[in-house]
Amino acid sequence: MQLHYDAATEAFRAEVRAWLEANQPTPAEMRAEPVKSSAHLTGWSRRWQGRLFDAGLLVPGWPRELGGRSLPPVQQLVFQEEMARFALDRSTNPQGLEIIAPSIRDYGSDFLKEKYLLPTLRAEIAWCLGMSEPGAGSDLAGLSTRAAVHEDHFVVTGQKIWTSGAQHADHCFCFVRTDPAAPKHRGISVLILDMKAPGVRVQPLPALNDRKHVDFNEAFLDGVVVPRDHLVGQLHQGWSISAGSLAHERGMVWLTSARRLDDTLERLRALARETGPDGRRIGESESFRDAVAGLYVDAQAMWFMGYRGFAKFARGQVSPEHSVLKLFGSEITQRATRLATEAQGVDALDVDYQGWTFDDIRGRAPWMRQYLVSYGGTISAGTSEIQRNIIAQRVLGLPRR
Amino acid sequence: MDFEIAPEQQDLVDSVRAVLAQECPTALVRDIVENGSTPEQPWKSARELGWTAIDLPESLGGLALGFTALGLVVEQHGCRIAPGPFLATVTQFLPLVCEAGAPEQLARFAQPAGAGELRGALAIDHGRAAEQAPGESLRAWRDGAAWVLEGQRTYVLDGGSADEIAVAARVDAGDGVGLFAVPQSAVKAQRIVALDASRPLAHLRFDRVRVEPERVLGTPGRSARALGRALERAVVAASLECVGACQTLLEMTVEHAKSRRQFDQPIGAFQAIQHKCADMLVQLEKARATGHFAMMALAEDDPRRALAASMAKAAASDCQRLVCKEAIQIHGGMGYTWESDVQLFVKRAKTLEALFGTGAAHRQRIAALLEI
B285 interface with A at CB cutoff 8 Å: yes
Q: Closest partner residue to A388 among B269, B275, B360, by Cβ? A: B275
Angstroms from B239 CA to nearest CA on chain A: 14
3 state DSSP class of A322: helix
- Best of A1, A331, A378 to disrupt the B interface (most B CBs within 10 Å) is A1
Distance CA B311, CA A46 (A): 41
Element housing A159 (H / E):
strand A153-161
Return the pLDDT at A352: 87
For residue A315, the model assigns a pLDDT of 77
pLDDT per position as a tens digit, A33-90: 989 999 999 999 999 999 999 999 999 999 999 999 999 989 999 999 999 889 899 9
A206-218 burial: b if 16+ Cβ within 10 Å, else e:
ebebbeebbbbbb
| In contact, B182 and B215? CB cutoff 8 Å | yes
- In terms of Cβ atoms closer than 10 Å to its own Cβ (0-12, 13-18, 19+), residue B287 is buried
What's the pLDDT at A316? Answer: 73
pLDDT of residue A255: 86
CA distance B4 to chain A (A): 5
* Yes or no, beta carbons of A1 and B367 under 8 Å apart: no
Contact state of A307 with B289 under an 8 Å Cβ cutoff:
yes
A4 in B contact zone (CB under 8 Å)? yes
What ipTM does this complex have? 0.96
pTM: 0.95
pLDDT of amino acid A355: 55
pLDDT digits (tens), chain A, 401 positions: 889 999 999 999 999 999 999 999 998 898 889 899 999 999 999 999 999 999 999 999 999 999 999 999 899 999 999 998 898 999 999 999 999 999 999 999 999 999 999 999 999 999 999 999 999 988 888 999 999 999 999 999 999 999 999 999 999 999 999 999 998 889 999 999 999 999 999 999 998 988 877 899 999 999 999 999 999 999 999 998 877 766 655 567 788 889 899 999 999 999 999 999 999 999 999 999 999 999 999 999 999 999 988 887 777 776 667 889 999 999 999 999 999 999 999 999 999 886 555 555 556 789 999 999 999 999 988 899 999 999 999 999 999 97
CB distance A398–B274 less than 8 Å?
yes
Per-residue pLDDT, A245: 66
Mutation site, A302, A304, A339, A388, interface B, largest B CB count within 10 A: A304
- A·B CB contacts under 8 A: 153
Which pLDDT score is estimated for A319? 66
Name every chain B residue with its beta carbon within 8 A of the beta carbon of A292: 367, 370, 372
Q: Note whether B364 contacts A290, CB cutoff 8 Å.
A: yes
Q: Pick from A87, A371, A101: which is nearest to A256 by CA?
A: A87
Distance from CA of B10 to the nearest CA of A (A): 10
What pLDDT, on the 0 to 100 scale, is given for residue B39?
Answer: 97
| Closest Cβ–Cβ partner in A283, A298, A304 for B292 | A304
Mean pLDDT of chain A: 92
Sign of CA dihedral A54, A59, A65, A70: positive
pLDDT for residue A358: 58
| pLDDT attached to residue A310 | 83
Mutate to test the interface with B, among A6, A82, A297, A330 (most CBs of B within 10 A): A297
Contact call for residues B140 and B149 (beta carbons, < 8 A): yes
User: CB distance from B371 to chain A under 8 Å?
Assistant: yes
Q: Which of A4, A297, A311 sits opposite B3 (nearest CB)?
A: A311
Nearest-angstrom CA–CA distance, B244 and B287: 10
- pLDDT block averages, 10 residues each, chain B of length 372: 89 98 97 97 97 97 97 98 98 98 98 98 98 97 97 98 98 97 98 98 98 98 98 98 98 98 98 98 98 98 98 98 98 98 98 98 98 94
Q: List the 285-314 stretch of A: residues with Cβ below 8 A of B.
A: 286, 288-290, 292-294, 296-298, 300-301, 304-305, 307-308, 310-312, 314
**CA proximity to A190, closest of A246, A128, A147, A250:** A147
Chain B stretch 53-92, residues whose beta carbon is closer than 8 A to a beta carbon of chain A: 68
Q: Which chain B residues contact residue A3 at CB under 8 A?
A: 1, 293, 296-297, 300, 302
pLDDT tens per residue, range B322-347: 999 999 999 999 999 999 999 999 99
What's the mean pLDDT when you consider all of chain B? 97
pLDDT of residue A27: 87
A7 touches chain B (CB under 8 A): no
Q: What is the pLDDT of residue A191?
A: 98
